[in-house]
Structure 1
Amino acid sequence: MTRIMMIHPRPTRGGFSAVVSQAIELLGLGGFEISVMVERGDRLSELPAEVKQVILKHPLKSARGASQARRAITSVRPHLLHLHGRQAGLIGRIVAPRSIEKVLYTPHGTPWAGSSARRLFLTEVSERVLSKRTDSVLCVSRSEQADWVRRDPSSRVEFMPNLIELESNSRTPITPDPQCQLLVPGGYHPQKRLEVVIEALAMTTGSRREVVFCGSVEDDKYREKLIGLARSLGVESQVQFLGNIPDVSSRMRNAELVILPSFSEGFPIVGQEAVAVGANVLWSAIPAHQELFGDTGRSFWTAHELAVLMTRPPLESSVVARQAWLRKFQDDARTRRAAFWRRNAIRLD
């Protein structure tokens, strides 16, 4: 058996969905003993019963959390340590014992996008230092891979997309739900650039559009900042700030528009789900979104550009071709991932 431990500090929607799907995938392949290190959260029940849960009592970014992580890794003695997300990638590579056979890192987005000059410099330095502790950087999109290869042209940077379950009956969108006009899924984190949506809403003074934000609260202060911004711009009554909601795919299908305003993504799972259900999507003009949506939906960058698009009728172009593309993409991802895991498992057995 090949022991693999995945670390994802918080059970948030996108990153943790990747962890859950990976656990299911490895159980299906067989030959893996799986453990997941994570903080407590209501999504832990999504993990298969066969997966050992290592619960962090303190945040991973704290000294106590990092210390607990090192002790847990030493106790489990995984052959493969798979770090999901930037925080796990930074701390995990620092605390991981040298005896681990392979350290895998899935950034779920380029760490260089949207950073201040100071953070950009620190990121460059830390990645150069920690590259010696990284056997594989697993990129979930071609655009993310290209960004990493520009800095590290070695063979350890690989393309390995996330898996999602595609609904077999999601070929076309259904009638929009007037109770959910504009949906902004994906959670609360500065990377999501949600303030652009609120600013755009304030510019559309001729309509009473309602916006629903939803997802995991990864940054409480950021969520409070958004609430204050909505209040200061006079659109508080038009905005709902929800947490995780059940069956978000159905909500995306029913929404008049789905808005994805991020300034950095790997290959967003919520975006793939939006394509799968035939949602009308307005997406920020970043490489990962361009790669995912192609010529479907409409792109924007500034709040003004988004405000203009929000007042236009949704596109009526068919998304069937893009759904077919996504199915082919997922089939290729499944084959590519299975080959990667078998290659590593065989070498370790």
Structure 2
Amino acid sequence: MDIVIVYKYRALSLIYTKDIQIAELLWRSAISYFLDYLAFLLGGFLLSLSLLFKSKFELIYSHDTGNAGLIGALLSVLFRKPLIVHIHGDKFKEISLRGINLLRRLHLAYEAIIEYIVLRKASLILFASKHILSEYSRRYAKYARKFKHLPVGIKLSNLVKSKEKERKKYKIKLPSDRVIIGYIGRLEAEKNLGVLLKALSLLKDDGFKFHLVIAGTGTLKPTLEEMASSLSIHDNVSFLGYVRDVKRILSMIDVFVLPSLSEGFPLALIEALASGKAIAASSIPQIRDIVRGMNRICLFNPRSVSEVKECIIKLSKLKDKAYPRHNVFEKYDISVIALKLLKLFNLFSS
């Protein structure tokens, strides 16, 4: 069976205010913002169209209910093929966390219209998170019969183990007595990295020896760098930017921290678990569903600096102890998920 995948492989660029908790799209950036949005919609549709005219296919598989989902819905109508949509997170909550001004309200309204079109047209809607599935079942009860839970598959094999090798590669020189704390992901308002920096500032005042490694890019990077300097921890933080192989970063850290206010399906968290790392993370439903019953996990209120601090102290005491890796392979490895996905595809193929 041939499968055509329409996938939204990029994020929109937003402009944020200095406030670490509030992010607003400014009017002066509106034209470039929506031109970028329109360019993806038209470009993605035309590219997919050209590929489909040259191919024999039986269904369309699209990620999320935004422009990628809309492209999938349009192609589904045009070619009269079934559409399967895979939803990662609650985009409305994430957009709201970035601030609510007039432009943001327009964005939310646009996304709501697109989502309605996609959900109505889709033959099957998959959810990476059980919590998001539950939220959508309440929000769109009449489409609940189409809903099914299926995590996103991740390649969890071949994890790198040599800490020293990776530290040299990224030019990070650290004393062996420091606790290496790591974050991997986008640098955006909903990721709530300000609370982590504030907690580390308190730890430094207490004489705690640490170094924070941040892998990822985003519109809040300049703000976070400025914040690290104002808190006098800039020498204790390394911003590595975009890193293609996150497993190499995981190999060098002792404690993985995920302070998000909102998550869909946190891929980096799954990889950190597969790497056997101690995890300090927000106590939100999407994360609790994944780590329930596991050891070396410390959950905190994402708005509490003191709780983040205490979790890091607690987990740092385990850094030199040997523990088996968390058993996440049978649930999330790409080889397992791909088989489940293909079984679902076969149900809708002609």
Q: What is the TM-score when the length of structure 1 is the normalising length?
A: 0.71
Residues 341, 126 of structure 1: alpha-carbon distance in 2 compared, 3 angstrom cutoff: closer
> What residue in structure 2 maps to residue 128 of structure 1?
116
> What residue in structure 2 maps to residue 36 of structure 1?
none
The partner residue of 1:68 within 22, 39, 43 is 43
Does structure 1 retain, via aligned residues, the 8 Å contact 2:281–2:287?
Answer: yes
1:1-349 correspondence runs (5 A)? 1-10=1-10, 61-77=36-52, 79-85=58-64, 87-89=66-68, 92=71, 96=75, 98-100=77-79, 101-116=81-96, 119=105, 122=109, 123-124=111-112, 126-153=114-141, 154-167=144-157, 181-204=180-203, 205-207=205-207, 208-215=209-216, 217=217, 219=218, 221-245=219-243, 247-294=245-292, 295-296=294-295, 297-300=297-300, 301-302=302-303, 303-314=305-316, 316=318, 320=324, 323-324=326-327, 326-330=328-332, 333-344=337-348, 347-348=349-350
Does structure 1 retain, via aligned residues, the 8 Å contact 2:191–2:261?
Answer: yes
Residues 319, 338 of structure 1: alpha-carbon distance in 2 compared, 3 angstrom cutoff: farther
Q: What's the C-alpha RMSD, in Å, of the aligned pairs?
A: 3.6
Q: Distance in 2 between matches of 1:298 and 1:224?
A: 29
Residues 319, 283 of structure 1: alpha-carbon distance in 2 compared, 3 angstrom cutoff: farther
Alpha-carbon distance, 1:299 to partner: 0.6
Structure of larger gyration radius:
2
Alpha-carbon distance, 1:129 to partner: 4.5
Does structure 1 retain, via aligned residues, the 8 Å contact 2:163–2:253?
Answer: no
Residues 291, 97 of structure 1: alpha-carbon distance in 2 compared, 3 angstrom cutoff: closer
| Other structure's SS at 1:138 match | strand
Residues 157, 177 of structure 1: alpha-carbon distance in 2 compared, 3 angstrom cutoff: farther
Identity %, equivalent residues: 19
> What residue in structure 2 maps to residue 29 of structure 1?
none
| Other structure's SS at 1:283 match | strand
Residues 180, 105 of structure 1: alpha-carbon distance in 2 compared, 3 angstrom cutoff: farther
Q: Deviations over 1:212-258 (max 9, x none)?
A: 1002x2x3x32112112222222222211112336432432441211
Between stretches 203-212 and 73-82, larger displacement belongs to: 73-82
Q: Distance in 1 between matches of 2:243 and 2:179?
A: 13
| Other structure's SS at 1:65 match | helix
Does structure 2 retain, via aligned residues, the 8 Å contact 1:141–1:161?
Answer: yes
State the one-letter code of the partner of 1:311.
Answer: I
Does structure 1 retain, via aligned residues, the 8 Å contact 2:179–2:210?
Answer: no
Q: Deviations over 1:15-45 (max 9, x none)?
A: xxxxxxxxxxxxxxxxxxxxxxxxxxxxxxx
Does structure 2 retain, via aligned residues, the 8 Å contact 1:61–1:91?
Answer: no
State the one-letter code of the partner of 2:10.
Answer: R
Q: Distance in 1 between matches of 2:290 and 2:76?
A: 37
Does structure 2 retain, via aligned residues, the 8 Å contact 1:9–1:59?
Answer: no
Does structure 1 retain, via aligned residues, the 8 Å contact 2:60–2:83?
Answer: yes
Alpha-carbon distance, 1:60 to partner: 8.4
Q: Deviations over 1:103-152 (max 9, x none)?
A: 33223212233443665963555533542233332211222222221222
Residues 310, 279 of structure 1: alpha-carbon distance in 2 compared, 3 angstrom cutoff: same
